Structure 1
Amino acid sequence: MENLNLRESHMKLKKGRRVLLFPLPFQGHINPMLQLANILYSRGFSITVIHTDFNSPNSTNYPDFTFHSIRIGLSEEQANQLAWPIGDVIALLTSTNITCAAPFHGALVKLISESSEEEPVACLITDADWHFTQAVADSLHLPRIVLRTTNVCSFLVYEPLPLFHQKGYFPIKDSKAEEEIPEFPPLKAKDLPQVKTQNQEDLFYLVDSMMSSIKASSGLIWNTCRDLEHSDLIKSSELFKVPNFSLGPFYKHFPCTSKSSLLAQDPTSISWLNNQAPRSVLYVSFGSVATITEAELLEIACVMNQLVPITRVVGRRGLANSQQPFLWVVRPNSVENSEWIEVLPDGFHQAVAGKGHIVRWAPQEEVLAHPSTGGFWTHCGLNSTLESMSQGVHMICAPSFGDQLVNARYISDVWRIGIHLEWKMERGEIEKVVKALMVEEEGRKIRERAGALKEKMELCLKPGGSSYEDGQSLVDHILSL
């Protein structure tokens, strides 16, 4: 029915223009790009998705779009690094921004030459991390618009990273971790986006190239809304001086990101939730990229369990004492030096049967929308954050790297819809935070604020709302290029 409605909308509004989109080949980047593609398709544009031969989206899930594959140009060793868990992502982005240039140029030439007079190519929309695409687009006189898949507040922090490096804030030093960053209140030094890489200069070059290519682009699209980041959107417009469009949350326009999942989703997540009490379940998932250590897995496992034979092995404190049911996603290869959860004590699954459910991957949108879900322990990636906000689900924040650190601080201290673990993956601290969120008065107040924010975000998507209006402004802008 959804595809039928999209087709009917497209036929009514058809603009006679085609938009080319080029996502970065990671789950957190593919999802919002395809969501944006659905939004533009519903507004009357024809859609072509250019993608790499690594982590390719399933084109059969999008019969209304045209897909064009290019070779990413990586060695077998580099391709293996791109698989979970991801290694030096900065080195990989540095490499692929070079190796993709020639095949991408060839793809654009082909697609432009094959376009018809009745449906010419209007513009190119690429992920901000594909900074090389600005030069390619310029060489073909094709307007390029940028999609940034983080929120505004976290991205603005990247621009002065070299300055923060000089001040000793980046990479983070324990002695400076609690120092406040006066340029970005309420951030502390430990909240700055940390990205592990063997060559710090590669990171600075990547950031500088991204910033320069955005300033040279024809526009910037954000998966956020003015109700969340009004002041930061003003700063973005002043920094980049190109039209900014905040259409988010994308997935609420057409909630269908599960179709673009790179991992098989376990349907038992929903059937298990169906048997739980309303707002009782703590949902735990750290996203498609983040990893944890074996020691951290055991700390979490302790919190998940209450039976004596197992708690003798991994400790007696934790969620066991608050007796919260849980749905726990442990992605394959997300635990360092383990394929899955084989390091858990013998009998753990039997011990938690009935109280908890562990899966390799879950249909997250459905989980967060389920009436039994009462809280979300998250890595604070933007997609997960927006999905939780949109359902009014309050959060426990356990960021791993990059923009997640900034998001976590905003969730806890600015939007005040979650509690920050403050990087203390220790069973006693976890128990305290889980109880506060799920059963105590503090959690009730946080849940109320999350519910109020959900209502604001719903309004922004309706006619007259900021995201709805920015969507129309984006359509007009593309047609004017």
Structure 2
Amino acid sequence: MGSKAPIHVLLVSFPGQGHINPLLRLGKCLAAKGLFVTFVTTEDAGKDMTASNNITHKSVTPVGDGFLKFEFFDECLKPNDPIKKSPSTLTPHVELVGKKFISQMIKQHEATNIPISCIINNPFYPWVVDVASDHGIPSALLWIQSTAVFSAYYHYFHKLIPFPSNTEPYIDVQLPSILLKYNEIPDFLHPSSPFPFFGTLILEQFKNLSKPFCVLVDTFDELEHDSIKNLSKYIPIRSIGPLFKIDTKTNISGNFFMPDDCIIGWLNSRPLASVVYISFGSIVHLPQKQVDEIAYGLVNSKVSFLWVLKPPHKHLELQPHFLPNGFIEETSNKGKVVQWSPQEQVLAHPSVACFLTHCGWNSSTEALTLGVPVLTFPAWGDQVTNTKFLVDVLGIGVRLGYSQAENKMVTRDEVKKCLLEATIGSKAEELKRNALRWKKAAEAAVADGGSSERNLNAFLEDIKKLAHN
């Protein structure tokens, strides 16, 4: 590895697909710039990643001027352990095991010529910054949602403004840069949230926000200028995204599934801007009746589509979806249903007209950055806030679904109406114009001298200074 040992950065990721992807993208960027990066997550996630990609536990891969290594820690649980059934029992268990593992890693590397100089985590593992602090190692947080959502959590945690409560569930929230209705705030913060545990978990990160020397956000200045400017008054925040757009000239990926081989070939056979791409991310599981309505909406609208209908996560004990009788036969010349897809490649494909999405932040920024209009179908959490921005602020979306807390069914007629609105006619043209404008802005942000590129380089300089101190 040359005479001068590279600076060693440790990345610790919550094992969700939507958490691993952005942190691994950051890891590849740092490695490409000459750092030695170790990427850590649980063994369960590691098994899925190694089965689907060209990576192995503890192998070191050159990336640009640096290196990337993967390490997976054992959760010390049997496959059917009841602790795995609920996040509220699994999370404290993983924290105990994870803290021990990271502490041992730090000690082992202290004795080598590449001690760990900086630790970066993502928000569902708030304990990582405590471990870093205990060992006197500088840490940073990669926030993997929007700055506006960060601002909502920040204002809630510090009680800076009123939020909906049990006594006043319908009040609007006036953030410095935007007014959000009661059903547009990240719904883990709403008293009626079906998943209050996740709100509590994320707020844990805000308790120890004084420990990281910097908060990195997978966004860009032009996209969230006002939110970034307002938050900068309180915390050192740097926008460094969209991370997936930064070319590190490596095909290392953290995907849990192998995409179907034939997807890109099938898209090549479709006319320009004709296909609706449908995917609800790696976790969201729609009610079966809603899947039926979407299917009938597709049949009735006669649009061409690529639909990712993935099996539910093994720990969730949910029934796999099935499609209405005759659906596959009736749409065989128009559509394709797959279990997983290479989403970035699909969204970049010229035959894709729009994206029916759950509006997770990764999917939202990928759509924006690749110039693809969206039909919004949020389920929970930050997805409802992202919907507000995609539709009302950024002008690239049509509202279709509701959050699962609202318990509303979207009918096949609504699906058909919105599919047509987003793919043909003046509204579709306006959405596409706006999407292309954001695509241009995103490309400029990550280009040489762009806002995100400057911020990433400044962060790198910080790490180097801290390492030499």
TM bin (shorter chain): 0.7 to 0.9
* Cα distance change on mapping 1:394 and 1:258 into 2, 3 Å: farther
Give the Cα–Cα distance (whole angstroms) in 1 for the partners of residues 393 and 434 of structure 2: 11
Give the Cα–Cα distance (whole angstroms) in 2 for the partners of residues 362 and 388 of structure 1: 15
Of residues 449, 453, 474, the one that matches 2:434 is: 449
Deviation readout 1:418-444 (Å, 9 max, x if unpaired): 111251522121122111111121111
| Between structures 1 and 2, the one with greater helix share | 1
Q: Tell me, what secondary structure is at the counterpart of 1:147? A: strand
2:348 is aligned with 1:369: yes
2:100 is aligned with 1:121: no
2:228 is aligned with 1:249: no
Name the structure 2 match of 1:328. Answer: 307
Structure 2 contact 9–35 (Cα < 8 Å) conserved: yes
Partner amino acid for 1:279?
Answer: A
* Cα distance change on mapping 1:120 and 1:109 into 2, 3 Å: closer
Structure 1 contact 193–404 (Cα < 8 Å) conserved: yes
* Cα distance change on mapping 1:154 and 1:258 into 2, 3 Å: farther
2:81 is aligned with 1:77: yes
Per the TM alignment, residue 66 of structure 1 is displaced from its structure 2 partner at its CA by 2.0
Of residues 30, 50, 54, the one that matches 1:40 is: 30
Deviation readout 1:312-334 (Å, 9 max, x if unpaired): xxxxxxxx24x210111101127
Per the TM alignment, residue 213 of structure 1 is displaced from its structure 2 partner at its CA by 2.2
Q: Tell me, what secondary structure is at the counterpart of 1:215? A: coil
**How high is the sequence identity, in percent, across the aligned residues?**
25
Deviation readout 1:433-476 (Å, 9 max, x if unpaired): 11111112111111101001101111111111101111110110
Give the Cα–Cα distance (whole angstroms) in 2 for the partners of residues 204 and 352 of structure 1: 41
Partner amino acid for 1:261?
Answer: N
- Greater shift, 431-440 or 358-367, is seen at 431-440
* Residues 104-115 of structure 1: pairs in structure 2 closer than 5 A: 104-113=102-111, 115=112
Give the Cα–Cα distance (whole angstroms) in 1 for the partners of residues 439 and 293 of structure 2: 32
Structure 2 contact 162–173 (Cα < 8 Å) conserved: no
Partner amino acid for 1:267?
Answer: D
Name the structure 2 match of 1:480. Answer: 465
Partner amino acid for 2:306?
Answer: L
Of residues 279, 285, 288, the one that matches 2:279 is: 285
Structure 2 contact 163–172 (Cα < 8 Å) conserved: no
Aligned residue-pair number: 439
CA RMSD in angstroms, aligned pairs only: 2.9
Gaps of at least 5 residues in structure 1 are 1-9, 82-87, 306-319
* Cα distance change on mapping 1:90 and 1:269 into 2, 3 Å: farther
For normalisation by structure 2, the TM-score amounts to: 0.86
* Residues 38-437 of structure 1: pairs in structure 2 closer than 5 A: 38-56=28-46, 57-58=49-50, 60-61=54-55, 63-64=61-62, 65-74=68-77, 76-77=80-81, 80-81=84-85, 88-89=86-87, 92-113=90-111, 115-116=112-113, 119-161=114-156, 169=164, 176=170, 179-183=171-175, 185-195=178-188, 200=196, 202-203=197-198, 205-240=200-235, 242=236, 244-254=237-247, 259-305=253-299, 320-321=300-301, 323-333=302-312, 339-342=319-322, 344-423=323-402, 425-437=410-422
* Cα distance change on mapping 1:93 and 1:405 into 2, 3 Å: farther
Q: Tell me, what secondary structure is at the counterpart of 2:398? A: strand
Give the Cα–Cα distance (whole angstroms) in 2 for the partners of residues 148 and 106 of structure 1: 25
Structure 2 contact 259–342 (Cα < 8 Å) conserved: yes
- Greater shift, 255-264 or 226-235, is seen at 255-264
Give the Cα–Cα distance (whole angstroms) in 2 for the partners of residues 441 and 398 of structure 1: 22
Deviation readout 1:76-134 (Å, 9 max, x if unpaired): 435754xxxxxx54554344334422222222222333x30xx4432111112221122
Give the Cα–Cα distance (whole angstroms) in 2 for the partners of residues 30 and 53 of structure 1: 13
- Greater shift, 404-413 or 210-219, is seen at 210-219
Give the Cα–Cα distance (whole angstroms) in 1 for the partners of residues 382 and 35 of structure 2: 31
- Greater shift, 370-379 or 42-51, is seen at 42-51
* Cα distance change on mapping 1:327 and 1:479 into 2, 3 Å: same
Per the TM alignment, residue 23 of structure 1 is displaced from its structure 2 partner at its CA by 1.1
Partner amino acid for 2:444?
Answer: L
Of residues 2, 9, 15, the one that matches 1:19 is: 9
Q: Tell me, what secondary structure is at the counterpart of 2:290? A: helix
Partner amino acid for 2:411?
Answer: E
Gaps of at least 5 residues in structure 2 are 63-67, 403-408
Give the Cα–Cα distance (whole angstroms) in 2 for the partners of residues 16 and 152 of structure 1: 31
Structure 2 contact 10–38 (Cα < 8 Å) conserved: yes
Give the Cα–Cα distance (whole angstroms) in 1 for the partners of residues 44 and 306 of structure 2: 30
Give the Cα–Cα distance (whole angstroms) in 1 for the partners of residues 296 and 194 of structure 2: 34
Give the Cα–Cα distance (whole angstroms) in 2 for the partners of residues 258 and 330 of structure 1: 24
